[in-house]
Structure formats: structure tokens, C-alpha cells
Chains A and B, each alone.
Chain A
Amino acid sequence: MEIKTNDILQKYPVGKSENLIPILQDIQDVEGYLSEASVVEVGRHLQMPTGKIYGVATFYNQFRFKPLGKYHIQVCRGTACHVLGSATVLEEIEKELAVKSGNTTRDGMFSVEVVACIGACGLAPVVAINGNFHAKLTADKIKELIDNYRNQE
């Protein structure tokens, strides 16, 4: 894992702290999350205390410190989705998978995350699973949707 982090760090000059966010984004793209080992590496490269890096990373919603499940479910909780019932959609997903948002199922299959707005308001309520959009959802469509992914296994 650290080898990958090193590869990414090579692209950025040593000690230039303005690149911190792009570096963290690159690492998360490749590894799925920010591990402690990676953060230490970044600190060494940018000559920055890890505490400062965590200070920045935890400020932004994008960064995760735990690995993702195989299927990453993003539930849009934007205004348009809210008005059209995304709260019950989220509730149903949490119930079906028996996890709270922000967590991953024990078998490592599904991660549930709430996002502020995906920008596909015309199709509300929207859920994106690994980047694929599922539009105009209602609570009673959730089981079928998740079963479809389960059956792919």
C-alpha cells in the first residue's frame, strides 16, 4: 500500500503544502481511503506534522479513514430529493442493509454514505451506486435494487 502512496507522492514536489488536498484525493482514488500509513508518508513528503494533515483531511467531507465496501451507495439528501421523500429512501436502505449511513456492512459488500447533492435534481430522489444513478426511487423499490447487486455476486 505504501508503495502506491510513494508513486503518487513522486508526482508532487517535496515540501509544497499547497498540494496537500490533491495528494490526499489521489491517494483516496487509488486506495479507497486514507490509511494511517499513507498519512504518515504524506507528512514526510510535505514536511508537515500528521496532526495538521488530519486537521485538513477531517475538515472535508470527501475524505474517509475506513475502507469502502464493494458497492458504494451514495444517497442524495439535497433539497429536491428531500421534498420528494429521500428520508424514507435512506431509512429503507439502512434497514435493508442493517447499517447506519457512514458505515459498511460486515461482509464488506455495501457502504452507505449520505451526500449533500449530486446535482441530478430533475431525477429526485436519486441514489448512486458505484457511480451509477438510480432515479425516482421510492422506499418500496429499495429491496429489489439492492437484491440486484447482491445477485451479481
Chain B
Amino acid sequence: MSKTKVIVGLGSCGLAAGAAKTYDALDKIKTADNLDFELAKTSCIGMCFREPLVEIKDESGSYIYGEVTPDRADEIIEKHIKQFSPIHDYVVQSDVFEARDNAFYEGQVKIALRNCGYMDPENIEEYETRDGYKAIKKIIDNKMSPEDVIQEVLDSGIRGRGGGGFPTGLKWRFAKNSEASQKYVICNADEGDPGAFMDRSILEGDPHSVLEGMLICGYAIEANAAYIYCRAEYPLAIKRLNIAIKQATEKGYLGKNIFGANGFDFEIFIKEGAGAFVCGEETALIASIEGERGMPRRRPPFPAEKGLWKSPTNINNVETFANVPWIIYQGASSYNRYGTEKSKGTKVFALTGTINNGGLVEVPMGMTIKDVIFKLGGGIKDDKKFKAVQLGGPSGGCIPEHLSETIVDFDSVNATGAIMGSGGMVVMDESTCVVDIARFFLDFTQKESCGKCTFCRIGTKRMLEILTRITEGEGKDGDIEALEDLSHQIKDSSLCGLGQTAPNPVLTTIKYFKDEYEAHIRDKKCPALTCKKLLSYKVIEDKCTGCTVCAKACPVDAISGERKELHHIDMSICTSCGLCFTKCNFDAIEVY
């Protein structure tokens, strides 16, 4: 009989929700009552909406408990471990019975996330028992040549998961074909897209698979040094990467003459980013590693010819590297079984926004966006109406509800005007104003523009000014046309991806929600009731008790009325600050 295992999810999300306290509580009970179970750690299990998560694995199967506070942990140990009776009400996912969130896992195919939540990321042996470092071993044992490896990656059909969707095998071949004594592999872990945390979860939950992927790439392109460029905002990921590199070096997976193969040396260094979104662009990233301002460089020459310190360099994203060992070990044909004709395999998405089950999912390419949101994501919070979904972050676009049958693959998503991006999927309901969202993204890209190209630097600023004016009720006729005109100029005249894609959120929202822009500009109304300055307030007669709270709260004395009598808001004085609405205890203020 195998020992019962109690596993606590200690990724950033779990820790933020208090998982460390839960772990301590479990440890205390185990010691105090001298209980015979194994207490283990893992990282992100994926169900962020139910953190902290604790999985109990016993002879009967697996039970994942959600929202496990220290108190609840006591109760679960008492019933499940001591009395062998699982508390079904607290179980969110199980392979034993139909738990409430089982649907979250149905339809998912875990390749990049194959180890996330299933092992202790700080323990290399656990990775090894899960076929870890067997892909690189297979390459050496079967005497696969670098070209064989590249062909296998090419056959798998995998395309870059960082957003561009360029065939990974092809990228490797370019770097391989560049003759040089020194070449580099770089892992782009500068996940700056707000609303995305796929790469963070992989780095925290399964750092070794990324290292192994980089090692395989190094073998294929004949490089012997590599860098991981990771955001400084991800301290836990950096810590676990450092641990993983140390363990892999001790075990001989990194270092000199790996697996006894003469001359196969490989070293990996970590470079911490310093908070610049543009450094996700590969030439800017290279500049940053070199110690410069992270500004993009002109291509060609592409990094595959002249990259880091002018040596041929291959850059891939975290998720791409995490897929590689699986592809090599299981074979290209196992991978390209999944997906559509032109987009093979799976894609990890970070589901966030006004969705019930926000978290990390990995689905085969070809699933509809609707299924991702409603089947896995459990639909929209508070039963509100689904309005749109933002794919690809500040570089992507809004896909409206009527296009939700769009399937996730590079080309279908591009056809809507959005981009697949790195996998952030921010769901918006009827209370989200798309003009405000467009303004939000422009505010972001305008701040993050490195300033090298005039159109990106000044154009985004002008666009932001127009959008801000519109959301504040100062929109004028011709604004929409001006936005479109500026968008096209910025797209045409920017050197890098940041500028070329920055106008996408504006263009897609204008394309699909023009009426909302017009409502803001012509009627000075925000249909989603989000843009504060466009809101009007009135007192609901039969709810007002005349308590005077609103009148006292009003900073401009726009509310009049005697105690215990109906109050009145004078909209000619009102500044639409909304204080009366938040202060009223009787829901007697209506926004319209």
C-alpha cells in the first residue's frame, strides 16, 4: 500500500492566497498527532480561483481541496486522513467522483504543463521520475545529429509560443546554419504582457523542463552558453531556476562533456530584467543583456546571424522550450496529432477577468474560444452577459461575443484582428467599457514605448490623448477617423513589434464596437457605465429615506433635501464623482 500524500500548491498565486500558512498548519497537525502521511510541495495546480489548493492522494484516487484555510486544513485532516471520509463539499476536483469543478480539466491536454502541479519543482529527482532529462538522453543514446533534432522539431509543427508563431524548427535551422565559434541560446522569460502568467507558472512549477528544452536547443544549434532573461517581478521563478540550474549541474546535465559526449558543453545563466515591456522584443532583449538601454535594433541582420555580442543567437519563449523535451521524447507525431492543420499541439492560456474559473489551462489548438470560456472557465461572473475577450494583451485585440466560435489557432485569431499572443485571455462582461480598455492599453504601450521610432513615441501619445478625451466626455466628430489614421501610420512606421501592434486594441474595438465610441462622442454616454465623467446620478424616490448621508458626502453640495425627506441631485452642479452612490446605505442612488 502506498503512503497517502498531501500536496500543497505553493506557486505565487497560492502563496498570495495564504498557502504557506496552510502548509504550516498541515505540518503542525502531522507532527502533533504523529500522522502517517507524506506532506509534499508543488507549484501552480492551475485553479487560481480556488487557491489555496491541497491535493490528497490516497489508495482510492486524487482529491483536490479548494480554498483550504488553516482551519479548513484541520477539518480535512480530521475527516479525510483520520476517518477516511473525504469531505465532498470542499473537493473541487477529483478522479473518484464528480466534483464541482471537474469540468475545468475536461478537454485540457497537458504537454507544456505536464509537470506543473504534479511534482516538487525544487526536487530534480521528481522531474527525473517523470521522464525528465530523458529527451536529451535519447538524443545522445540514439546518436541523433543536430540536424535530426531540428527535423524532429520541424516535423512536430510547433510554432513559437511567445506570440509571433514562427516555426520553431525553422528558427533553429537558421541559427544552426550560421557559422561561428560562439553561439547562444536565450530563453525569453520577460513576460510583460499584463494579464498573462503562463510563463511564470511554468518557471515556478517545472523549471527543469525549460532547462532541458534549452539544452536540446543548444545541442541542435551547436551553442554552449545560454541565458534566461527573466522579469525581476518574478522572484519565486528566479529562485527556483537557480535551484534547478544548481541541481542539473551537480547531476551532470549541465556543464562540460554532458553524458560523456565529448565537447558537448552547456552552461545557463540567469539575467534579471529590470522592468521594460519592450525587452520582450528579441533585439531589445539582447541589448538589455549586453547592459544597454533595451531598445530594439534593426533587422536584418536577424539574431540567428548576429545576435548577442554579434554571435548567432536563437531566442525562444518559455512555453516553447517547455514543449521541446516532450516532443523529442514522445516523437513529433505524438505532438502533431493535436491541433489544426497549420497550428499544431496545444496552447496554454491564462484565463482572467470577469470569469468564474480564472486560472491556467492548456488546450489543444482548434478549441473554440467559447468552449475555453464557458466549458473550462465556467462562464461569466455574477451571471453577467459575455461581451468580449482580449487576446494577446496590449499587442492583441478584442474579440467580440459574436465571434466567440473562433477557434484558437494562429491564423484564425489573426483573422479577427487580434493576435494569439503569449496566451493572456482577459474576459470582459457587459460592465466593461471597451473604449476605456483601449485607453488602458494605449496608456500602457505609450509608457512602454522605448522612444526610438517617432511614430510609436509620439503617435501613441496622441492616440492616448484622444482616447482620454473621449472617455471624459470631450470627444469630437472626427476622433474615430483620427485614431484610425494614426493607427495605420504607427503600424507602418515602427521598427519593432511593440509599435507595429500597439494600435491593435484600438482598431479592433473600433471595428467591433463602433457604436460605443459613438455613444461616448455624440451622446456623452458610457453604455457600460464605467467612464466616471459620463455618468449621471439620480435619487430613486421610493428608496430614499432622507438620511442625509449623500448630501453630507457630496463635495460640491449638489444634493439638497431636508432630513427624512426625499433628496434631489442637481446635475448642473454634480461632478459625477460617484461618492453619493458609494455612500448610500439604501441603494437609493441610480447611475445612468
Contacts and interface: CB of A to CB of B under 8 A. Distances in A.
A60 B276 contact: yes
Interface string B240-283: 00000000000000000000000000000001111111000000
Interface of B: 12-13, 15-17, 48-49, 51, 191-197, 200, 232-235, 271-277, 288-295, 350, 352-354, 358-359, 390, 393, 424, 426-428, 432, 437, 440-441, 444, 448, 450, 582
Interface string A45-60: 0000000000110011
Contacts of B437: 82-83
A84 B530 CA distance: 11
A17 B13 contact: no
A89 to B, nearest CB: 13
Contacts of B288: 21
- 3 cross-chain pairs, A with B, having the tightest CB-CB distances, nearest first: A122-B48, A133-B16, A79-B195
Contacts of A20: 291
Contacts of B193: 117
Nearest to A126: B16
Contacts of B200: 119
A12 B140 CA distance: 37
A79 B388 CA distance: 14
A95 B31 CA distance: 47
Most B CB within 10 A of own CB, among A20, A25, A62, A126: A62
A18 B287 CA distance: 10
B51 A60 contact: no
A17 B293 contact: no
Most A CB within 10 A of own CB, among B51, B195, B432: B195
Contacts of A19: 291
Contact of B444 (A24, A25, A116): A116
16 contacts: A56-B293, A59-B294, A59-B450, A60-B276, A62-B274, A62-B275, A79-B353, A79-B441, A80-B194, A82-B440, A115-B233, A117-B192, A120-B12, A121-B196, A122-B197, A133-B15
Contact of B432 (A17, A83, A131): A83
Contacts of B194: 77-80, 82, 116-117
B304 to A, nearest CB: 21
A118 interface: yes
A25 to B, nearest CB: 6
Contact of B232 (A25, A59, A120, A139): A25
A22 B272 contact: yes
Contacts of A84: 353-354
Given A21-B291, A56-B291, A122-B13, A80 B352 contact: yes
Contacts of A146: none
Contact of A122 (B359, B427, B440): B359
Contact of B353 (A59, A80, A115, A140): A80
Contacts of B390: 79
A123 interface: yes
Interface of A: 17-22, 24-25, 55-56, 59-63, 77-80, 82-84, 115-124, 126, 131, 133, 135, 139-140
Most A CB within 10 A of own CB, among B196, B271, B352, B440: B352
B467 to A, nearest CB: 14
A119 B51 CA distance: 15
B13 A120 contact: yes
Contacts of A135: 16-17
A99 to B, nearest CB: 20
Given A56-B293, A123-B48, A80 B426 contact: yes
B358 A80 contact: yes
A135 B193 CA distance: 20
Given A80-B353, A83-B354, A120 B197 contact: yes
Most B CB within 10 A of own CB, among A55, A59, A83: A83
B428 A121 contact: no
Contact of A121 (B195, B277, B444, B582): B195
A60 B274 contact: yes
Contacts of B233: 115, 117-119
B172 to A, nearest CB: 26
A145 to B, nearest CB: 14
A18 B49 CA distance: 42
A25 B238 CA distance: 14
